[in-house]
Amino acid sequence: MINLELPKKLRASANQAHQVAQEIFRPISRKYDLAEHDYPVELDTMAAMVEGLADSGTQKIGGAAGGRSDTDEHATELLGNSNGGNMSALLNALETSWGDVGLMLSIPYQGLGNAAIAAVATDEQLKRFGKVWASMAITEPSFGSDSAAVTTTAVLDGDEWVLNGEKIFVTAGQRSTHIVVWASVDRSLGRAAIKSFVVPRDAPGLSVARLEHKLGIKASDTAVLLLQDCRIPKDNILGSPEVNVEKGFAGVMQTFDNTRPLVAAMAVGVARAALEELRAILKDAGIEPSYDIPANNQPAAAAEFLRMEADYEAAYLLSLRAAWMADNKKPNSLEASMSKAKAGRTGTDITLKAVELAGTIGYSQRTLLEKWGRDSKILDIFEGTQQIQQLIVARRILGKTSAELK
C-alpha cells in the first residue's frame, strides 16, 4: 500500500514553517500589500533564524533552495531517499505561502536562484555559493516563457566573463546578494550555448533600472536589471563551461525541474489558505460541506467547495511526487510541469472562486481573500506559463521534440 504520510522529520520542519507563516507573515500581510516596495523589516528576524537553522543542520524554513545542499545529509531518513532537500523545500514553501507568498519570496537567503545553483553547480561552487541569497534572471524584454530566446551575452575576457543585456521581472532583484543570470556564450550556437552565471550584487556593470508595480505579491520586489560590461570571475559560470550542441541547454533547464514543483507548492499553499477562509465564511452562513452526501444533493456553494478541495488535493499530490522524484534522482521534467500546470490553474481557480462565493466579504479588504486572488495569478505565470507547461507535458508524453511540437 502507498503511504502518503509525511516522515516525522518533514512534519516537524513543515510545522515550524507553518508557525512562521501564522505568527510572522499573516499579521503583516496586509501591511506590505499596501506598502509596495517597502522592505519587510520583520524578515531580518527570519534571516537570523534561517542562518541559525542552516548552521545547526536543521531544515530550511523558506524552502526555495531545493536540490542539493549542505543540509541534505540530515534528511536521509526520508523513505530511503538519498536526500530530502527538494521535499523539505517544497513543504516549507507551501506552509510559508499559506501565510503570504510575497513575503515567502522575500525571505533572505532563500531565493529562486538558489535552486539554480543547487541544480547545476559543481561541488566547489556549492561550497562557495551555498549561503548566498540568489535571485534568478531569465526573462528579457523580447521574450517571456521561451527561455531558449536569451539574447544576453557572456564573453570570456582573460579570467573574467563580460555580460551584457537586460533582464526583467527578476524576483528579489534588488534585495538579493547574488543574481543567477542566463546568458549565451555564443549566439551562433543557439540554445546549446545558454549558460547560467552567478553575478554578485556589487559586480561592476550591474544596476537596477527600476522596480515594477504589480497586481500581487507586492511584498516581493520585482526588478529590471541592466548588465553593461558587467565583469565576474571566470569560475562563476555554473556547471561546465563547455558547449554541448547535442545536449542542448538541458543542464540549465534542469533548474526548472527543481523550481517548478516549488512554485506549484506556493500555489497549493495559497489555495489552502483560501479554502480554509471560505469554509469558515460558509459555516457562518449555515452551509457546511458534507462528505457523506452526494455533492449534487448539497447547496451549490457546498458542492463547489468539494470540487475545489478535490482539485487542491490533486495539485498537492502531484507536487509531492515531483519533489520525491527529484530527491531520488529520477528524471522529473514531466512531473514537474504537470504539478506546475495543475497547481497554477487550481490556485487561481480556488482563490477567485472563493472571492466570488464570499460575496462582498471576499471582494473587500475585510479578509485576505481578494489579496490571495491577486497573488495567485503570478504562480500560474512565472517559471513557465500554463500553456508552456501543457506543451512540455505533451512533448514528454508523445515523445516529440520542441521542433516537432510547437
Q: Which residues are catalytic?
A: 383
Q: Nearest-5° angle of CA 108, CA 111, CA 116?
A: 145
* CA 94/CA 352 separation, integer angstroms: 19
Pick the closest to residue 181 from 156, 169, 166, 198 (CA basis): 198
| Amino acid identity at 56 | S
The CA-atom distances, in angstroms, between 345 and each of 73, 230, 255, 385 are 34, 38, 21, 10
Strand partners, 227: 165, 206
- Please name the residue that has the C-alpha cell 514553501: 93
CA atoms within 13 A on the CB side of 195: 28
Which run of H or E residues covers position 161? Answer: strand 160-171
Q: How far apart are CA 74 and CA 27, in angstroms?
A: 32
Buried/exposed code over 264-297 (b: 16+ C-beta within 10 A; e: otherwise): bbbbbbbbbbbbebbbebbeeeebebeeeeebee
The three cell numbers of residue 64 are 526555495
Q: How far is CA 227 from the centre of its chain?
A: 24
241's grid cell: 563551461
Q: In the chain, how long is the greatest CA-to-CA distance?
A: 73
Q: Which segments of 130-246 does DSSP mark as H helices, in order?
A: none
For residue 197, the SS3 value is strand
- Describe the crossing of helices 85-99 and 250-284 by its angle, rounded to 10 degrees: 40
List the end-to-end C-alpha distance of the chain, in Å, as a whole number.
40
Phi, psi (5° rounding) for residue 108? -55, 140
